[in-house]
Amino acid sequence: MTDTEQFDEREQRAWFGFLTMQEDLRRHINRQLLEDSGLSLSDFSVLSALVQQPDGALRVFELVSLLRWERTRLIHQVSRMVSRELLERRPAAEDSRGSRVALTERGREAVRQATPLHLRDVRRTFFDAISPRQIDMLAALSEAVLDSIADQERNNQ
């Protein structure tokens, strides 16, 4: 194996620590959100994206781009949320073949009630565990990795 085919001890600690933290954090936040509001983290992500739109609606491709999800995942999530009356599908005025995913009043109220509880849990679980300097470092790290991914995707086109 060459040096690029394996991680050194420092890289292993960082990479596997990141993966473990990400999974545990996501699981914890999801569990707490379900307990507090009956919404999953996926439900909350979709509702939060839509509540920020002036008309509470987006085309599927716009929501896919905003959430960075696979289209299939979003379609299944939206179908579950439509059946729970959190969302509805509306015809797209700009394209008669397309549709928009829109908040219902029930969805708007659910995200309104869940947001302060979710923010409190994120603060307690995540931000209270790290220093302001670490928050800045995390933001810089996130931006650097996202820029690297974008560069790789541009170069692969």
CATH number at residue 40: 1.10.10.10
What is the pLDDT at residue 18?
A: 96
| pLDDT value at 104 more than 50 | yes
Are 32 and 77 in a shared domain?
A: yes
Q: How confident is the model at residue 20 (pLDDT cuts 50, 70, 90)?
A: very high
The CA-to-CA distance between both ends of the chain, in Å, stands at 30
The SS3 call for residue 97 is strand
Residues 70-88: pLDDT tens digits?
A: 999 999 999 999 999 999 9
| pLDDT value at 94 more than 90 | no
Q: Is 48 exposed, middle or buried (0-12, 13-18, 19+ CB in 10 A)?
A: middle
pTM of the model: 0.89
Are 138 and 101 in a shared domain?
A: no
Are 95 and 142 in a shared domain?
A: no
Are 59 and 98 in a shared domain?
A: yes
Are 83 and 51 in a shared domain?
A: yes
Task: Decide if 150 is inside a domain.
Answer: yes
Provide the residue range defining the domain that includes 37: 23-114
**Gap between the Cα atoms of 152 and 96, Å rounded:** 35
Higher pLDDT: 94 or 31? It is: 31
Number of domains in the chain: 2
Residues 28-54: pLDDT tens digits?
A: 999 999 999 999 999 999 999 999 999
What is the pLDDT at residue 92?
A: 84
